[in-house]
């Protein structure tokens, strides 16, 4: 039996990024909905990382916000990808097009030509970006940002759009006899709704009360289970520049992230508690950086996800539904895409059991595809510590092995990953680039594959050489961001 939802009330548990993202997406495309967001300032927001995937564009479009405004309101810097060094050399995962022949189109990307030519995987992006120099027409679709500033901005915009945001602590969940959720309540208020989104992060409020939400561990396929975050200040040096990348740097028992935003740098160590204690992990970071750090937050996690993310009239969204590890900023992208996907399933103003089943199937596939992609990053890493030796000896999951078997003789295509739809986090372009970067995809095979498909055979790599007149218009990333914020750099370019 269908449930009419067109003009009903949706209650969102959690006023962090995931909850506010969902609220904005739903309000933009279903303006008749009465949307209530309930979150507690006492609990705060997780803020594990300060980095987006390209899926942030669905929020910027909903808000009508430009790259310049992102910098002004959220302290954002540009992000052109993730920089890693685990295989004994530096490489970047970043899909960048120039708006011409190298735009993001199926099997039509300049990076493929570079891979066929055997280019150093660090230079699968324009050389100027690798060097931290930005051209005013290079507007990315990803950002580094201050989580708290972003949340403040999203809250202000939500209120302006008629979304009801409440600072409250939920203490009770009231269910009907048929198992649907009727309302949530605090000591002072009751919030009744027709559809509920749990965006409560690691608190995972609804699964504690709904046994049909069962946790599916993927820890046996992953390696890290602890993390701590700490901020650092940028050097007091006018000539200091920061790169437009999230750095994921190899450590003895995991990896350390470094994320530059305008006014500081966000950092953290993701590690295995089997190999390192918290105190030992902090000491290792301090030794690497050469100074003491102030740990802001610590996290314990088990890689995995729930067996379903929509049950009755309840949807788990963002960290409430899953977590694998912070690598590649996947949690934010998943939360956005889960809200987008839910929107599609109430596109006809109703939802029913068949649609809920289909939604759950798609989200489960999204989870599998995501942890498979993350697992690829650990292949071929140099085994120079007990942790990395264990990584090297670990059984390769069947899902990953299938991909490796295919790429012995050809590149991946979208059908291999069943990722034709836009709400999947990663696509064949992402997989192919990472496989090439870690040495599992050879230039000769790529060249043959491209020649057979009539694409980019023997094409000169487009990113290494930059005309002098374009070089003259570039400036350091940090100064470019500062110019956006103070208004000395004018750009009307929207986020693509």
Question: Mean of the per-residue pLDDT values for the chain?
Answer: 88
Q: Does position 179 have pLDDT exceeding 90, yes or no?
A: yes
Q: Does position 100 have pLDDT exceeding 60, yes or no?
A: no
Q: Does position 466 have pLDDT exceeding 70, yes or no?
A: no
Q: Does position 226 have pLDDT exceeding 50, yes or no?
A: yes
What three-state secondary structure class fits 450? helix
Calculate the dihedral angle through the C-alpha atoms of 301, 435, 122, 456, rounding to the nearest 10 degrees.
Answer: -140
Confidence of residue 494 (pLDDT cuts 50, 70, 90): very low
Q: What are the structural domain ranges in the chain?
A: 3-50+146-220+303-370
Cα atoms in the 13 Å half-sphere on the side-chain side of 416: 21
Strand 297-300, strand 226-232: pairing: antiparallel
Confidence of residue 108 (pLDDT cuts 50, 70, 90): very low
- Predicted confidence (pLDDT) per residue in 254-269, tens digit: 999 999 998 899 999 9
Q: Does position 426 have pLDDT exceeding 80, yes or no?
A: yes
Calculate the dihedral angle through the C-alpha atoms of 392, 381, 144, 61, rounding to the nearest 10 degrees.
Answer: -70
Q: Tell me what the mean pLDDT of segment 444-459 comes to.
A: 70
Distance separating alpha carbons of residues 335 and 429, to the nearest angstrom: 21
Residues sharing a CB contact under 8 Å with residue 295, sequence separation 6 or more, in sequence order: 228, 229, 230, 282
pLDDT at 95: 72
Residue 240: φ, ψ to 5°: -65, 135
Q: Does position 178 have pLDDT exceeding 70, yes or no?
A: yes
pLDDT at 457: 45
pLDDT at 195: 94
What kind and span of H or E run contains 111?
helix 110-116
Question: 3-50+146-220+303-370: what fold?
Answer: FAD/NAD(P)-binding domain (3.50.50)
> Shortest CA distance to 489 belongs to which of 64, 80, 68?
68
Number of CB atoms found within 10 A of residue 409's CB = 9
Residue 327: φ, ψ to 5°: -55, 135
Query: Which conformational region is residue 241 in: left (phi greater than 0), alpha (psi within -120 to 50 degrees), or beta?
Result: beta
Q: Tell me what the mean pLDDT of segment 233-258 comes to.
A: 95
pLDDT at 399: 96
pLDDT at 63: 85
Q: Does position 309 have pLDDT exceeding 50, yes or no?
A: yes
Residue 377: φ, ψ to 5°: -60, -25
pLDDT at 389: 98
What kind and span of H or E run contains 227?
strand 226-232
Helix orientation angle between 398-406 and 353-376, rounded to the nearest 10 degrees: 70
pLDDT at 383: 98
Proportion of the chain above pLDDT 70, given as a percent: 89
Q: Tell me what the mean pLDDT of segment 384-391 comes to.
A: 98
pLDDT at 233: 93
Which of 3-12, 138-147, 172-181, 315-324 has the lowest average pLDDT?
3-12
Q: Tell me what the mean pLDDT of segment 465-479 comes to.
A: 81
Question: Is 291 exposed, middle or buried, given 0-12, 13-18 or 19+ CB atoms closer than 10 A?
Answer: exposed
Q: Does position 164 have pLDDT exceeding 50, yes or no?
A: yes
Confidence of residue 420 (pLDDT cuts 50, 70, 90): confident
Q: Does position 99 have pLDDT exceeding 50, yes or no?
A: no
pLDDT at 152: 93
Q: Tell me what the mean pLDDT of segment 77-90 comes to.
A: 94
Calculate the dihedral angle through the C-alpha atoms of 438, 442, 447, 448, rounding to the nearest 10 degrees.
Answer: -130
Which of 66-70, 237-241, 379-383, 387-391 has the lowest average pLDDT?
66-70
Q: Tell me what the mean pLDDT of segment 227-235 comes to.
A: 94
Distance separating alpha carbons of residues 402 and 431, to the nearest angstrom: 13
Write out the E strands in 97-158: 133-134, 143-144
- Predicted confidence (pLDDT) per residue in 35-56, tens digit: 999 998 876 555 544 888 888 8
């Amino acid at each position: 039996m269908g449930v009419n939802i067109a003009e009903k009330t949706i209650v969102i548990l959690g006023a962090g990024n995931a909850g506010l993202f969902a609220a904005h997406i739903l309000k933009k495309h279903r303006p008749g909905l009465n949307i209530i967001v309930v979150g507690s300032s006492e609990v705060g927001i997780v803020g594990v990382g300060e980095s987006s995937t390209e899926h942030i564009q669905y929020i910027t479009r909903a808000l009508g916000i430009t790259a310049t405004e992102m910098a002004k309101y959220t302290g954002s810097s540009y992000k052109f990808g993730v920089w890693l060094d685990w295989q004994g050399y530096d490489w970047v995962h970043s899909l960048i097009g120039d708006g011409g022949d190298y735009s993001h189109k199926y099997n039509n990307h300049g990076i493929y030509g570079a891979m066929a030519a055997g280019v150093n995987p660090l230079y699968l992006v324009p050389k100027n970006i690798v060097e931290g120099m930005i051209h005013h027409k290079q507007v990315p679709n990803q950002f580094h940002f201050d989580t708290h500033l972003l949340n403040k901005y999203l809250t202000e915009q939500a209120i302006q759009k008629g979304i009801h945001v409440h600072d409250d602590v939920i203490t009770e969940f009231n269910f009907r006899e048929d198992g649907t959720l009727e309302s949530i309540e605090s000591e002072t208020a009751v919030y009744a709704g027709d559809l509920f989104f749990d965006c409560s992060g690691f608190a995972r409020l609804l699964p504690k009360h709904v046994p049909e939400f069962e946790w599916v561990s993927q820890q046996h396929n992953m390696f890290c289970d602890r993390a701590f975050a700490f901020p650092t200040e940028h050097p007091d040096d006018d000539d200091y520049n920061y790169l437009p990348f999230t750095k994921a740097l190899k450590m003895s028992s995991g990896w350390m992230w470094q994320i530059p935003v305008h006014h500081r740098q966000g950092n953290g160590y993701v590690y295995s508690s089997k190999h390192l204690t918290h105190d030992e992990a902090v000491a290792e970071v301090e030794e690497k950086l050469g100074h003491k750090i102030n740990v802001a937050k610590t996290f314990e996690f088990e890689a995995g996800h729930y067996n379903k993310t929509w049950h009755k009239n309840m949807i788990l969204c963002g960290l409430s539904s899953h977590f694998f590890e912070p690598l590649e900023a996947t949690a934010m992208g998943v939360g956005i895409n889960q809200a987008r996907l839910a929107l599609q399933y109430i596109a006809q103003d109703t939802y029913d059991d068949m649609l809920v089943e289909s939604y759950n199937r798609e989200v489960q596939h999204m989870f599998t595809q995501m942890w498979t992609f993350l697992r690829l990053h650990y292949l071929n890493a140099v085994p120079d510590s007990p942790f990395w030796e264990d990584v090297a000896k670990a059984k390769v999951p069947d899902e990953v092995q299938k991909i490796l078997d295919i790429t012995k003789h050809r590149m991946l295509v979208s059908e291999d990953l069943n990722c034709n739809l836009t709400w999947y986090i990663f696509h064949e372009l992402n997989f192919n680039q990472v496989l090439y970067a870690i040495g599992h995809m050879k230039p000769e095979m790529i060249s043959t594959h491209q020649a057979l498909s009539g694409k980019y055979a023997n094409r000169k790599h487009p990113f290494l050489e930059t005309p002098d007149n374009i070089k003259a218009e570039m400036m350091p990333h940090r100064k470019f961001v500062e110019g956006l914020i103070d208004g000395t750099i004018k750009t009307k370019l929207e986020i693509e």
